Amino acid sequence: MDQNRQDGEVSGKENSKQIDSFEKYLKAERNFSPHTLRAYIRDILDFALFLKKKQLNFCHADKYDIRKFLEELNNKKLGKATLARKFAALRTFYKFLIINKIIEENPIESMTVGLKKDKKIPSFLTENETQALLNLPDIKLRDKAMIELLYSCGLRIEELVSLDLKNIDFISNIVTVKGKGNKERIVPMGNICLYAIRDYINARRNSGLPCDIKSPVFLSDHNKRLNQRTARRILHRYFIKAGFTKKVSPHTLRHTFATHILDRGGDLRSIQEMLGHKNLSTTQIYTHVTIESLKKVYQKAHPRAK
């Protein structure tokens, strides 16, 4: 075996070992969501492949290697949000290497890429479209409860499927949600949503299915906890039945929740709390939604708008 090939194999093994340790760190100490965790590990694996071509490991890569990697990504015409996340993944990874004394100097610490995420106005359903979805005939009790809960409380799909019955307070009309970073928040729940969940649980109880407080709120057809993929597939079926021609996802219902509350006079701080946003700036995107709606009304109604 020649020296270059041997060095390359050693570098690959060292890189793999550090990626495994990094993944455990993100899970145990940073409480990353499964989605963010997968994205970060994928980003670091891409960087490892880039370094493998140069027969380098993470410890020997310098800021010029990192910048070259980012340049290659930029040439692939990736979106700004994707590039910004990959840069964030690298920053977090090299901080991890510093913390664990695997390297002494952080090559990425003083680097900036000047990337800002494009602020896209989130897609949402109008109140009529929402009613069309909620009033579809022949919705299973479980699926009706899922749709009502997503719209009533603005939950993420991963938050929805992770709920246990102990998280639903049927007396106080609140749901306790474990969000990103395992941070808990309390969200009010409307009566219609509460009744939908109660109907589903009662039917489940009458069928002899588990309904103790430790049971998942939503069960699959095999009486196991419903997973994200299956939940998305179920919901997509109803989006088609409702006749939506635009792209609609479970997250669209979260956007719809926030937009409708803001349209009816809700304040941003309260919406921030209910959505579990860390920063108010994240919630402020919904003001752009309502402004765009106001502009459309103005253009249509004002005699001198043209």
Q: Is 229 a catalytic residue?
A: no
Residues 145, 196: contact at Cβ < 8 Å? yes
Among candidate residues 86, 142, 144, 156, the one labeled active-site is 156
The most distant pair of C-alpha atoms in the chain lies apart, rounded to whole Å, by 81
Q: Is 185 a catalytic residue?
A: no
Q: Is 277 a catalytic residue?
A: yes
Strand partners, 175: 168, 187
In the block, which residue shows the tokens 């793999």?
16
Q: Is 288 a catalytic residue?
A: no
Residues 213, 164: contact at Cβ < 8 Å? yes
Q: Is 251 a catalytic residue?
A: yes
Q: Is 166 a catalytic residue?
A: no
| CB neighbours of residue 304 within 10 Å | 4
Among candidate residues 60, 180, 185, 236, the one labeled active-site is 180
Among candidate residues 85, 142, 144, 254, the one labeled active-site is 254
Please list the active-site residues.
Answer: 156, 180, 251, 254, 277, 286
